């Protein structure tokens, strides 16, 4: 175990650790929102979702037919198939469960969670990057970029933990 010298701030009090805590907490909240969204998509009939979208966005489109978001959303809700809704819902539920579980493990300091989180979040981002290649969208590009940053923060925290607790807790010794 590496000793912390007197006068050196404890690594858990560092700005890097605070950034890690904030990033992983946001990942946790994102997972909760994905679970809620996926579950909602499974439980609420498509007709109810379509009614809600049209009741909130038809007036917007009437006033401004060039509103891209309202136009895209109403087009999407009118054309999506049930099997697409089920796929999206299950995908959100899986991602949400993974994010909530891994974020909880990371915040509790469970060493095995670091490489699993880095690997799984990287795979999710690779899928996102592949999707961007075929169907570019700025919101997805922003989310993928943010996720790459979070992966870097998690990796940096893992390396710091390895230095603090010795070689059995770092990369290659999960």
Tens of pLDDT along 12-70? 678 888 999 999 999 999 999 999 999 998 999 988 989 999 999 999 999 999 999 89
Say whether pLDDT at 2 is over 60: no
- Describe the chain by its helix, strand, coil percentages, rounded to 5: 80, 0, 20
Vertex 171: Cα angle to 169 and 173 (nearest 5): 50
- Domain extent listing, the chain: 13-74+81-169
39 close to 96: Cβ distance less than 8 angstroms = no
Tens of pLDDT along 137-169? 787 888 889 889 999 999 999 998 888 776 555
Whole-structure pTM value:
0.72
């Amino acid at each position: 175990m590496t000793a912390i010298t007197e006068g050196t701030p404890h690594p858990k009090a560092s700005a890097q650790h605070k950034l890690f805590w904030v990033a992983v907490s946001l990942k946790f909240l994102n997972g909760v929102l994905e679970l809620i969204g996926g579950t909602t998509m499974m439980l609420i009939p498509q007709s109810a979702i379509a009614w809600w979208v049209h009741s909130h966005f038809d007036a917007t489109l009437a006033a401004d037919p060039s509103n891209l978001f309202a136009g895209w959303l109403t087009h999407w809700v009118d054309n999506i198939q049930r099997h697409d809704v089920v796929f999206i819902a299950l995908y959100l539920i899986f991602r949400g469960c993974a994010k909530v579980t891994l974020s909880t493990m990371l915040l509790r300091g469970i060493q095995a969670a670091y490489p699993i989180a880095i690997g799984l979040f990287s795979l999710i981002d690779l899928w996102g990057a592949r999707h961007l290649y075929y169907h570019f969208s700025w919101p997805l590009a922003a989310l993928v970029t943010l996720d790459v940053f979070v992966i870097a923060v998690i990796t940096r925290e893992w390396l710091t933990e390895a230095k603090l607790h010795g070689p059995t807790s770092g990369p290659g010794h999960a």
